Structure 1
Amino acid sequence: MELQQMRYVIAIAEERSFTRAAERCFVVQSSLSHQIKALEHELGVVLFARTSRRVELTEAGEAFLAGARASLDAAERAALDAAAATGQIRGNLTIGVIPTVTAIDIPAMLGDFRAAHPAVRIRLRGGGSEQFIAGIAEGSIDVAVLGLPETTIPTNVSTRQLTKERLVAVVNSDHRVASRRRLRLEDIAEETFVDFPEGTPGRAPSDLAFSAAGLTREVMFEAMNTDMILNLVRQGLAVTLLAPAVVPDDPRLISIPVVGGPIRIEYLAWSDFNPSPAAVAFLGLLED
């Protein structure tokens, strides 16, 4: 049994087509079909139920697929570990980045990493902290930057606290409180807010702060990126609460400290369970 045959099985299972699998593997379909028939003969089982229109895994095929994926992962990891032993870092590095990273300069870090390890393929993933924690636990993400309220402690991942900061109120320059040097939550509780979607870690610090103060607020607008949030503030449609570092120098935007305002903690997260050589190298760069 060859590793290439396992790759063919995985490709067919994922594409549900011999034709598309052959294109994906850069082989002619007749060669791929021959290899699958040879593998089925060797194993003594049928891996695929196929007609001219449909291709599906048999029960035996489903069982084989899991082992094939594990074997390929082990083979690829063995090659990466061997290369790393000689100082050559290869493979993939998948990094999860929330929309409000303030503690580290991601582009600069990637520039340094790329210069030191040009053979590593870097993949950036946008999303939320809970999504990244789940991705690290299941192995689809190597490293992530998280932003969480101070009452939420990340679990099932290794973490390092990067920064702890109090959010500021951001208002339009024409807003009634724009000239204030500081605010309390009750000063803006009656305003219309724009914030991250309900239930997301990006919004949780603000929701928790208002709840702890016995206040309610109206979040009329929801957005997943800070550019949209700030544009709505520029238009005078809403106010918001954000980390100071994500608010640009713009005369139309006024940042005001909030006494007793929300506190947000930024973490670097990763898995200590068998991290890839690329992940270890990236974490080492951050330590330096």
Structure 2
Amino acid sequence: MELQQLRYVVAVAETSNFTRAAERCQVVQSALSHQIAALERELGARLFERTSRRVRLTPAGEAFLPAARECLEAADRARAEVAAASGEIRGRLAVGAIPTVTAVDLPVVLKEFRHLHPRVRVTLASGGSDYLIERVRQGGVDVAFLGLPTRAEPKAVQGRRLARGELVAVVAPDHRLAGDVVELRSLADEPFVDWRAGHAGRVQSDEAFAAAGVRRDVAFEVSSADFMVDLVRQGLGVGLLPAAYAPRFPDLRTIRLRDAPERVEHLIWANHPSPAATAFLDLLDRGDGGPR
């Protein structure tokens, strides 16, 4: 069993197509097919079901794929560790971030990291905090920036708090309370645009309204800040965004809240960070765009 064979299996599994997998691996299709067939003979089981219309994993293939990925990741990690011992950082760095991160100027930090470590392949994934925590636990993401309710702490990962901040209500320019400072109960009759129920960004707002004894109507549930802003811009509801993030939308107005919901931004990383992840964490510690 060779690493190249494992790469071919993963490529076919991810593309569901031998031709596209061969293009990704930069080999001719016949060579890729031959190597997978040789691996199947060695394993004594077929990994793929092939028809004229599609390619899909067999039950044996489904069982084999996670182990194949782990082997490839271990090999990449071994190469990176050897390079780091020689003073060179290389390999992969997968960064995750919520869309509304404000504690770090992430594009600036990523640019600086790419300049310092050009041999590292950097990728960025955006998503909700719960999703990113799970990705870090599983090893798909190396480091991630989260936003959580004040009492929540990410589990089974390493991490530290970066910053704590309040949310503000964002509204269309002609809203009756635009520019005011009010309490949450003043918004009780307003329709809201918010994250889906259970989302970390939603929990902090739900807890604040519950503490204020206010029931509210979440008329629109969204999965991105941009979509929230688009709906608010049309006057369809009130949104809640971090006070440090809201100025990115100068055409909207804000309402300051005396009993505002709060969130804490966290930086988390895997329990055994790769050399690239360690270098990224070091940069955050010493850089101007790093944690406060």
Q: Please give the TM-score of this superposition, normalised by the length of structure 2.
A: 0.85
1:277 aligned onto 2:281: no
Matches within 5 A, 1:101-120: 101-120=101-120
Aligned equivalent of 1:203: 202
Residue 82, structure 1, aligned to residue 82, structure 2:
yes
1:32-181, aligned counterparts within 5 Å?
32-39=32-39, 43=42, 45-48=44-47, 53=52, 65-180=65-180
Cα 1:77–1:238 change in 2 (3 A) is same
Is the contact between residue 192 and residue 237 of structure 1 (CA under 8 Å) also seen in structure 2? yes
Q: CA deviation at 1:96?
A: 1.2
How far apart, in 1, do the equivalents of 2:160 and 2:224 lie? 24
| Residue range with higher mean Cα deviation, 129-138 or 51-60 | 51-60
Moved more, 167-176 or 49-58: 49-58
CA separation of 1:164 and 1:172: change in aligned 2, threshold 3 A:
same
In the TM superposition, what is the alpha-carbon distance from 1:232 to its structure 2 partner? 3.2
Amino acid at match of 1:97: A
- Kindly state the Cα deviation for residue 22 of structure 1 after the two structures are TM-superposed: 3.4
Deviation at 1:71, TM superposition (A): 3.0
Quote how far apart the aligned CAs of 1:146 are: 0.6
Please give the per-residue CA displacement for 1:218-269, whole angstroms capped at 9, x wherever unaligned.
1222333333323433333322222111112766533232122211111111
Aligned to 1:244: 243
Contact 1:46-1:58 within 8 A present in 2 as well: no
1:286 is matched by which residue type in structure 2?
Answer: L
Aligned residue number for residue 289 of structure 2: none
Letter in 1 for 2:163: T
Cα distance in 2, alignment partners of residues 197 and 232 from structure 1: 15
**Stretch deviating more after TM superposition (61-70 or 85-94):** 61-70
- In structure 2, stretches of 5+ residues that fail to align are 287-292
CA shift for structure 1 position 39 = 4.5
Q: Aligned residue for 2:217?
A: 218
Post-superposition offset of 1:88? 1.6
CA distance 1:82–1:175, shift in 2 (3 Å): same
| Alpha carbons 2:228, 2:239 under 8 Å: kept | yes
SS in structure 2 at match of 1:211: helix
Partner of 2:255: 256
Shift of the 221–136 alpha-carbon distance from structure 1 to 2, 3 Å rule, reads: same
> Structure 1 stretch 73-82 or stretch 227-236: which is displaced more?
227-236
Counterpart contact for 1:48–1:55, Cα < 8 Å: no
Query: 1:240/1:81 Cα in 2 relative to 1: closer, same or farther (>3 Å)?
Result: same
Which moved further from structure 2: 71-80 or 257-266?
A: 71-80
CA distance in 1, matches of 2:266, 2:106: 13
Contact 1:197–1:222 (8 Å) recurs in 2: yes
The answer to whether the 8 Å contact 2:171/2:178 transfers is yes
SS at 1:164 equivalent? strand
The more displaced of 108-117 and 195-204 is 195-204
**Comparing 278-287 with 50-59, which one deviates more in the overlay?**
50-59
Deviates more, 1:275-284 or 1:51-60: 51-60
Q: CA 1:255 to 1:87, structure 2 compared with 1: closer, same or farther past 3 Å?
A: same
